Amino acid sequence: MSFNLKSKGKFAALLAALIISVSVTGCANTDEKTSSTNSSTVTKDSVSTASIASDESLDSDMFTDRDKEVGYDESSAVMVAFSSSGATASSDSVSVSGSKVTIKSEGTYIVTGTTSDGQIIVDADNKTKVQIVLKNASVTCKSSAALYVKQADKVFVTTAKDTENTLASTGDYVQTDDNNVDAAVFAKDDITFNGEGKLTVTSEKGHGIVSKDDLKLTSGEYNITAASHALSGKNSIRIASGTYTLTSGKDGLHAENTDDTSKGFVYIADGKFTVNCKGDGIDAGTTAQIENGTFNITSNRDSSSSSSTDSASVKGIKAGGDITISGGTFNLTCEDDGLHSNSNVTVSGGTFTISTGDDGIHADSKTSISGGTINITESYEGIEGTEVEISGGTINLKSSNDGFNAAGGKDESGFGGGFDRDNFGSSDASITISGGKITIDADGDGVDSNGSLTVTGWETYVFGSTSGDNGAVDYDGEATITGGIFIATGSSQMAQNFGENSTQGSMLVNTNSSGEITVKNSDGVVLVSFTPTKTYACVVISCPGITTGQTYTVTTGDSTTEVEMTSIIYGSGGMGGPGSMGGRNMGNGDMNGNEMGGPGGDMRGGPQMR
């Protein structure tokens, strides 16, 4: 499919910039620092969700220098060695009981060897910092965590360069104290993972890695398999870099703090992620912010599980608060929404390929897209929000229902759910297009606003439904266009045009056609040409160069229509929308496609097909 634009006079420069070709396709140093953010002091280990929403990059606030330090002094480190006969330690700062070792003091501890039923416990002063270096260590613990941080200020787990390490738990968890230990790695306090080696974590009956405070991962390679969440942080999950292969019976990454709803966020600066889960790929109780990285997420229900799991959320990236994405590559194959926020979704960069059984991108409040490339190859509804605001980027989407949908109310969460359908005509609902290149292939409404529709610029192309109960353009409030290119094809029964408050000309032409659409001015200059991928019964066309008082030739397939713009709007729309019957084929035209209405609903003088 291709588009050509030509013009002369005052529109030449603008139209030359809009020549396009579009095709639809199917993220040992000082430990604490502070920095000034929005005129307030933010401590690295106590960053609020408000800071996440306001800062362009929070890497320096999210991680200390020591979080990223992978070096260690082997000459002063304590050696801990596991074997089939038990464990040994080179210092009395470690107590040993069989294959169970307990670290009691600050320092660096190098762990080697293998045990089939052992445990590493950190139980030190709450101001103590401990570094555990895994150097070809394999620790499996039956009925508890292989690594259990019972108390410390902070623990750093470093994988030594060119080593392979394992931390695993098997069987049902048996509680030995007041803590509900339910992971292969379980930390009551802050824990950071880094290094230049590999770490495999497995949990037969619980989570992979859990922190009841902040969980940070800054480097290294991780392969985590868990019956429940792969990574879980109560206050936050913060990832600076690294490679992650996560296989989980619930969420891949899960951050939630039910005691303090200002916490429970996810921040990712970079990394490579492959997530196969029976829950959400990334689930943040509050905000999720992604600045870069590569994300391959597959989320599907576990069809073999009990009925209680059938209602499990299986979204790609989900947040109770805002989702903010400024870069990265995202391949999301999800049974439910690709991106889902109970608040706002903001995308300013990145490359997305999304295939979903529900919405491609959903926000209960506002969905804002200002950059990036978004390809939604399969969805129920493509992009959804009470407000949908597109100011940049390239968007290609295919939907079995609406392409863009703006409606009041909250999402019903589930497989064709969408918004509260009783809240039609909501004054809060709006779709605003001021930038970007948008191509929509929708089997329902192409662009559907339960409130207003505003187009001020750039390029929008809609292949709407061929059935009569949907329209390429559908709105319940006011629709205006003041600039840009907007072309929408679809059925004529529910067709709507822009309203009279527009400042750029827009025409609605009824025709039963397929093939190229071309608009020429009275001098024979082609203003726009466009080839839809479907047959169509009508087309809405607006572009620079369409003005009041001029006559245009519109070619649709093998048919030609002369359109005289006696007002800014020619043909006013269909069932349930503003305007009257003009510009809409009510089924009373002749077999050649002659329509009954003209501009403003006048039943005489409609465009004639030649």
- DSSP-based three-state secondary structure for 308: helix
Both tokens assigned to 143: 């009925």
pLDDT score of 573 = 57
d(C-alpha 26, C-alpha 355), whole Å:
9
| Nearest CA-CA partner of 276 in 199, 218, 333 | 333
Q: Using the predicted structure, report yes or no on whether residue 28 has a pLDDT greater than 70.
A: no
pLDDT score of 179 = 95
Residues 6+ apart with CB under 8 A from 230: 207, 208, 209, 224, 246, 247, 248, 251, 252, 253, 275, 277
pLDDT score of 599 = 31
pLDDT score of 162 = 98
Sign of the dihedral defined by the CA atoms of residues 460, 428, 408, 537, in that order: negative
Q: Using the predicted structure, report yes or no on whether residue 113 has a pLDDT greater than 70.
A: yes
pLDDT score of 262 = 87
Mean pLDDT over residues 563-592, rounded? Answer: 54
d(C-alpha 548, C-alpha 484), whole Å:
17
pLDDT score of 154 = 98
The label of the residue with tokens 């299986």 reads 314
Q: Using the predicted structure, report yes or no on whether residue 587 has a pLDDT greater than 50.
A: no
Could you tell me which residues are beta bridge partners of residue 95? Answer: 102
φ/ψ bin of 421: left (φ > 0), alpha (ψ from -120 to 50), beta (otherwise): alpha
Q: What is the dihedral of CA 99, 100, 103, 108, to 10 degrees?
A: 30
Q: Using the predicted structure, report yes or no on whether residue 598 has a pLDDT greater than 90.
A: no
pLDDT score of 211 = 98
- Cβ pair 209, 230 in contact under 8 A: yes
Element (H, E) at 265: strand 265-268
Question: What is the percentage of the chain residues whose pLDDT exceeds 70?
Answer: 80
d(C-alpha 511, C-alpha 607), whole Å:
10
pLDDT score of 302 = 77
Mean pLDDT over residues 231-253, rounded? Answer: 98
Of residues 93 and 302, more confidently modeled: 93
d(C-alpha 371, C-alpha 185), whole Å:
39
pLDDT score of 183 = 98
Mean pLDDT over residues 302-328, rounded? Answer: 83
d(C-alpha 388, C-alpha 557), whole Å:
33
| Nearest CA-CA partner of 552 in 593, 502, 599, 588 | 599
- Cβ pair 366, 389 in contact under 8 A: yes
Q: With bands split at pLDDT 50, 70 and 90, how would you rate the model's confidence at 409?
A: low
Task: Give residue-wise pLDDT tens across range 61-81.
Answer: 899 999 999 999 999 999 999
- Cβ pair 606, 582 in contact under 8 A: yes
- Cβ pair 348, 325 in contact under 8 A: yes
pLDDT score of 310 = 58
pLDDT score of 408 = 63
Element (H, E) at 374: strand 373-378
Q: Which of 353-357, 457-461, 465-469, 559-563 has the lowest mean pLDDT?
A: 465-469
The label of the residue with tokens 């009257």 reads 580
Count other C-beta atoms under 10 Å from residue 548's C-beta: 12
pLDDT score of 56 = 41
Q: Using the predicted structure, report yes or no on whether residue 242 has a pLDDT greater than 60.
A: yes
| Nearest CA-CA partner of 7 in 596, 526, 604, 549 | 526
Q: With bands split at pLDDT 50, 70 and 90, how would you rate the model's confidence at 545?
A: very high
Q: Using the predicted structure, report yes or no on whether residue 469 has a pLDDT greater than 90.
A: no
Element (H, E) at 107: strand 107-115
The label of the residue with tokens 């509900």 reads 180
Q: Which of 12-26, 334-348, 460-474 has the highest mean pLDDT?
A: 334-348
Q: CA 381: distance to chain centroid? A: 14
Q: E strands of 11-77, at which residues?
A: 34-37, 40-43
Q: Using the predicted structure, report yes or no on whether residue 579 has a pLDDT greater than 60.
A: no
Task: Give residue-wise pLDDT tens across range 167-210.
Answer: 999 999 999 999 999 999 999 999 999 999 999 999 999 999 99
Residues 6+ apart with CB under 8 A from 197: 134, 135, 159, 160, 161, 162, 163, 164, 165, 220, 221
Task: Give residue-wise pLDDT tens across range 354-407.
Answer: 999 999 999 999 999 999 999 999 999 999 999 999 999 999 999 999 999 999
Element (H, E) at 169: strand 164-170
d(C-alpha 552, C-alpha 545), whole Å:
10
Parallel, antiparallel, or unpaired: how do β-strands 536-542 and 506-513 relate? antiparallel
